[in-house]
Chains A and B, each alone.
Chain A
Amino acid sequence: MTTLNNLKLGQKATIIEFTDEFLSRKFIEMGCIPGEKVKLANIAPFGDPIAIEVAGYLLSMRKHEASTVVVKINPENNVANCDV
């Protein structure tokens, strides 16, 4: 179990829960529902913000916002064999 900001580029994970009340409401209306699969798709040049692929589109967020999303890294997809 980790949080979204700790993913490596291309790593896939599944959303488990949220730790911030306001941001959780924002994340959910953007389609980030618990159980949804996400992939870290991009990191801005200065290391922050990041962009994830979720529900078929790209969503950007700051790292501290991503740190409120608890995820489980998908075992079958690690960085070595990702498709980025």
Chain B
Amino acid sequence: MSKNTDISIALLGNPNSGKSTLFNSLTGLSQKTGNYPGVTVDKSIGNYTFDQTKYIVTDLPGTYSLFPKSMDEEVTCKAVVSKLHDKIDVIVIVADATNLKRHLLLATQIIDLKKPTVLVLNIIDEARKNNITIYTEELEKLLGIPVVPVNSRNKEGILELKLAITKARISDTVLYNFQSVNKILPQFNSYESLIQSQFDTHAKQKVSLKEFELEDNIYRFSKLNYIIAKCVKQPEQLLKSTTQKLDSFFTHKIFGFAFFFIILLIIFQFIFFIAEYPMTWIEESFAYLMNLTATSLPKGQLNDLFVNGVLAGLSGIIVFVPQIALLFFFIAILEDTGYMARASFILDKVMRRFGLNGKSVIPMISSVACAVPSIMSARTISNWKDRIITILVTPLISCSARLPVYTLLIGIMFAGRASIGIFNYQGLVLMGLYLLGFAAALAAAMVLKYTLKTTEQSYFIMELPVYRKPQWQTVGIVVLNKVKVFLFDAGKIILAISIVLWFLTSHAPNSAFDKIEQNAIQNAHISQGEINSQKLEASYAGILGKKMEPFIKPLGFDWKIGISLITSFAAREVFVGTMATIYSSGDTDNTETLREKLISQKNYQTNLPIYNSAVCWSLLVFYVFAMQCMSTLATTYRETKHWKWPAIQLAFMSGLAYLSSLLVYQLLS
């Protein structure tokens, strides 16, 4: 908890100013991720103690000026002019010492807000290497605030910064142009009130600062020319040739794409295959724990709730951690080295056609493994509309949880039939389903591109940062924060839904379960599998499945499939387990016996197979399109901070699934 004596610091700077690295160096592992009210921007807070005082540090999203051009930037600008509720005692401006002029634009605006401020000349080691000399004392004099050179990578200057923060002061220098301020509205008695007026909620008081912004920035740059000339000695050519050499490789027609492809392949290998090992360990450990708890604790409702509701739910949450950690490990490296901006640069033209962004490629490919980490990784897309579209369409791409369902159904359809020539039927169909998912995602993105309205203007004017070595501390903290966000934010929702699902499948009205058990005692030949099957049929989920039957009958589905569709919400592969329970095929893990059982099911009136190819195709298409994953919905909610988006996702995907299956079944039967 923060006390009144705590000092609150806001960290502010351009994107790519090394702000996050500095934040990590200051606060280490004390970081927490919180929310700003009403926006999707994450709030990073950490703290440190210096000279017996606690300092609470907020890492504000990067911005280039106090005139925001995106929602992230707006959060920052509002925060520094006290339009968000947190108080700020000291503002720390982070500037990249290797490109001081552009980075100081924001600094001069902050100085004019008349708040205790400190300027950090970050990445000072690189500036020295590039033969840039900055006369710090001269700069302090001209700006009127303490200036501290820092190398946040090796923590050089961090102690000096902490000391300077205690001496932060309000500058008595004025850097804005009185005349142009007076021109818009003379009643602005301070630069702060002028910046604040952008965010006035009363439309009447809202002042358009568009013209003023141009004048203000140009005026400041001309002042900065003077300041830079006085305080900085730098070579004529600031941009290093190494960056240009690396660019000619990474954005090359052939090598550039080849390299990107290799990167994708590596990421894919890790989250699809390598993650499988820790995921299995997690599932096995939980299975062991559940078994242990179920047998060692007194039997009853509470035990069942704890084991099959809570523990099963937790297992279903924690099992995502390996994929999230691995995906963000790679993404953090790609971001930190500056490569991500290049990937975006070479892919932008293709992705733009679909309403997507160059940065949408990694989330979409990762989605073949799982939509949950993919949706989280869409956060690297800075444009709101591109990000929302990526989040909405990503779950259409077939994830690994669909694979067991596909395998079962394809197995039923092609039992006994092998191949056309060298191609295996089953392999061809499987590939077709994956392609169908990809095509649907791109088509949906295109539709959303034209239908989704936004107030935020889209642009691709962005910095290509210089290449830097990845910071392992930064990478580690990103991974840790992402895992925490998923476990504690999305996890809560997933746990709640899994308890509801547990209730639906394990409870029945009118003590129907007792009757089934009594019946079983009287008839010794009824197996445990049959008891479970009867119980599931009698349960609320069973009742719901039967109630659903009229709606899903046109798709070729009966109530048994209906139940499985409901339980699939826990994770799509649960379909297989539920079908196994319903058909009491014994060992729920053995797909082979279930397949045989399903093939042998005959309609009692017509004596034809129930699982004919029309039903199988219809079910397959349904599973390609349908949004049947509570974890994905919970993650979408977490990332968009609004129930509207998961609701839209659920509605359009289910609608698409229903109509497609309807079409397929009616055509084939």
Mark A residues whose CB is within 8 Å of B: 21-31, 33-34, 41-42, 44-49, 51, 53, 55-62, 65, 84
Contact = CB atoms under 8 A, between A and B. Distances in A.
Interface of B: 64-65, 67, 69, 98-99, 101-102, 105, 210, 213-214, 217-218, 221, 238-239, 243-244, 247-248, 251-253, 256-257, 341, 345-346, 348-350, 352, 457, 459-464, 466
B213 A60 contact: no
A60 B238 contact: no
A59 B463 CA distance: 5
Contact of A55 (B69, B102, B350): B102
Contacts of A62: 348, 352, 459-460
A22 B460 CA distance: 13
A47 B349 contact: yes
B28 to A, nearest CB: 30
Given A45-B256, A65-B459, 16 more contacts: A22-B457, A25-B217, A29-B65, A30-B102, A30-B461, A30-B463, A31-B105, A33-B217, A46-B349, A47-B349, A48-B348, A48-B349, A51-B345, A58-B243, A59-B464, A61-B462
Contacts of A48: 348-349
Nearest to B132: A56
Contacts of B345: 42, 44, 49, 51, 60
A31 B65 CA distance: 11
Contacts of A30: 64, 102, 461, 463
Nearest to B460: A62
Given A42-B247, A45-B252, A33 B218 contact: yes
A21 B253 CA distance: 34
Contacts of A27: 461
The A contact surface, by secondary structure, is mixed
A28 B217 contact: yes
A46 B349 CA distance: 7
Contact of A60 (B210, B243, B341, B350): B341
Given A21-B210, A31-B105, A45 B99 contact: no
30 contacts: A25-B210, A25-B217, A29-B64, A29-B67, A29-B69, A29-B105, A30-B102, A33-B221, A41-B247, A44-B345, A45-B251, A45-B252, A45-B257, A46-B350, A47-B349, A48-B348, A48-B349, A49-B345, A49-B349, A51-B247, A51-B464, A55-B101, A55-B238, A56-B99, A56-B238, A57-B466, A59-B461, A60-B461, A62-B348, A65-B461
B223 to A, nearest CB: 12
Contacts of B214: 24-25, 28
B346 A56 contact: no
A83 to B, nearest CB: 9
Given A30-B102, A45-B253, A58 B461 contact: no
A58 B344 CA distance: 14
Given A29-B65, A31-B105, A42-B247, A59 B346 contact: no
Contacts of A31: 101-102, 105, 221
Nearest to A58: B464
Contacts of A23: 459, 461
B348 A25 contact: no
A34 B222 CA distance: 11
B348 A55 contact: no
A44 B348 contact: yes
Nearest to A57: B99
Contacts of B105: 29, 31
B218 A28 contact: yes
A51 B213 CA distance: 25
A24 B67 CA distance: 13
Contacts of A60: 341, 345, 460-464
